Amino acid sequence: MAPEGTAGLDAYLAGERTRIDDALDRLLPPFGTSPPVLHEAMRYTLLLPGKRMRGIVLLAVSDLFRRRGEGVVALAGAVEMVHAASLILDDLPCMDDASSRRGKPVLHRALGEANAVLAAVALLNRAFATVAESAELRDRTRLAAIAQLAEAIGADGLIGGQVQDLAAAGRRPDLEELEWIHSHKTGALFIAAAQIGGLAGGARPKAMDRLLRFAKNLGLAFQITDDLLDYSGDPAQTGKDAGQDRDRATFVDLCGIEGARRLADELVDAAVAALLPFGKRAAVLRSIAEFVRVRDR
Ligand code: GRG
C-alpha cells in the first residue's frame, strides 16, 4: 500500500526502519561476544538511529515485485552495514575528522581509532557474508548481488568518490567534478540498494535499467539535500555537526542555496520520471523520492 500524505509516509518509513533495525540486531553476534570491544564497536554506529534510507530503497524496490520476506530485510541490513562502515571511516581524523554522528560522539572518539577502523572492516565482511548466506536469492542472482555491492564500495564507487573528494580539498572543483565525486561517494550505494532489491524481486533487464536511472538521480539528489542540511539544518534533527563540510566544496558553494535546491528538484523529478513505466506500483518509491526533496533530517 502506498503511504498517503506526510503522516502516512512517516509511519511507513518508521515501520521499515524498525524492520531493518531488528534484522541488524539479529545479523550481528550478540553484545558480549569475544572480543567484547570489537562487538561493541560494530554495533555502536550501526545501531544508533539512522534513517536507513538505502535499506528502505532496497525494500521498496523488492516490494515493487511483491517480495517482502524477512530474507529481503537481511539484504537491506547488509546495505546498511556497508553504509555504517563508510560513515565510521568518513568520520576519522584522516578524513572528515567529525565529532558527532547520529546524535552521539563518533565511534573513534568513543572507542578509539584502531577499534573504529577494525569495526568498519568487520562490518563490511559481515555485509558480504549476509548476502552470500541469503536464502532469498538464487545462486546466479546471489553472485550478481555480491558483485553489485563490491562494485559500489570499490574504486569505481564509494572509495573512488572519497579519494577524489579528499584530493579536491582546499580547491574549488567545477560542477562536473563535484557531481562525479558524489555520484560515486553517495550515489553508488543507492544504486546498489535499488539493483539488489531488483535482483531479489526477479526484475528483468529493462526494469533494472529503470531502477538504475531512478537510483542514480535519487542518490545525487540525496547528497545535495545533505549539503543543504549541512548549511542550514538543525544538528538536533540531523544528529551530526553543522558546517562539517566547510573544508570542501559543496553544491551550495557552487550553485548557491536556490541553485542547489533547483538541482535537487530536477534530480528528484528525473528519479520519479524513471518510475513512470511501473505505474501505480511505484507509489512508495515515488513517496521516498518526495521525502528526499523536502527532508529536514
Ligand atoms: C570501504 C565502505 C567503505 C568506504 C570507504 C569513507 C568512504 C570510503 C566513503 C564515504 C562515503 C560517505 C560517508 C558518503 C556520505 C554519504 C551521506 C550523504 C551520508 C549521510 O547519510 P544519511 O543522511 O545518514 O543517510 P544516516 O545516519 O541517516 O544513515
Evaluate whether 130 touches 119 at the Cβ level (below 8 Å).
Answer: no
Residue 144 CA to ligand 1 center (angstroms) comes to 23
Given a cut of 70, is residue 1 above it in pLDDT? Answer: no
pLDDT for residue 66: 87
Give dist(CA 36, CA 145) in Å, integer: 31
pLDDT for residue 68: 79
C-alpha cell at 246: 566547510
Residue 86 CA to ligand 1 center (angstroms) comes to 5
Ligand 1 contacts CB of residue 162 (under 6 A): yes
Nearest CA to ligand 1 atom 6: 90
* Percent of the chain with pLDDT strictly greater than 70: 97
C-alpha cell at 34: 569475544
Q: What is the pLDDT of residues 203-259, one digit of tens each?
A: 999 999 999 999 999 999 999 999 999 888 677 777 777 766 667 899 999 999 999
Give dist(CA 121, CA 163) in Å, integer: 17
Ligand 1 contacts CB of residue 159 (under 6 A): yes
Residue 102 CA to ligand 1 center (angstroms) comes to 12
Residue 87 CA to ligand 1 center (angstroms) comes to 4
State the residue for C-alpha cell 555502536.
Answer: 44
pLDDT for residue 297: 86
Atom of ligand 1 nearest to the CA of 54: 25
pLDDT for residue 244: 67
When pLDDT is averaged across residues 86-115 and rounded to a whole number, the result is 97
Closest CA to 249 of 158, 191, 180: 180
Paired residues of 105 in beta bridges: 100
Q: Mean pLDDT score of the chain, rounded to an integer?
A: 94
Closest CA to 84 of 125, 42, 146: 42
Give dist(CA 204, CA 193) in Å, integer: 16
Ligand 1 contacts CB of residue 250 (under 6 A): no
Q: Is 94 exposed, middle or buried (0-12, 13-18, 19+ CB in 10 A)?
A: exposed
When pLDDT is averaged across residues 86-104 and rounded to a whole number, the result is 97
When pLDDT is averaged across residues 38-48 and rounded to a whole number, the result is 98
Ligand 1 contacts CB of residue 126 (under 6 A): no
When pLDDT is averaged across residues 172-179 and rounded to a whole number, the result is 97
Ligand 1 contacts CB of residue 55 (under 6 A): no
Give dist(CA 38, CA 272) in Å, integer: 41
Evaluate whether 175 touches 255 at the Cβ level (below 8 Å).
Answer: yes
Least confident of 114-118, 177-181, 243-247: 243-247
Ligand 1 contacts CB of residue 189 (under 6 A): no
Closest CA to 91 of 81, 77, 105: 105
When pLDDT is averaged across residues 162-186 and rounded to a whole number, the result is 96
Evaluate whether 283 touches 255 at the Cβ level (below 8 Å).
Answer: no
pLDDT for residue 231: 87
pLDDT for residue 242: 74
**193 Cβ partners below 8 Å, 6+ apart?**
54, 55, 57, 58, 61, 76, 79, 215
Nearest CA to ligand 1 atom 8: 159
Confidence class of residue 150 from pLDDT cuts 50, 70 and 90?
Answer: very high
pLDDT for residue 175: 97
Residue 216 CA to ligand 1 center (angstroms) comes to 16
Evaluate whether 150 touches 124 at the Cβ level (below 8 Å).
Answer: no
When pLDDT is averaged across residues 156-184 and rounded to a whole number, the result is 97
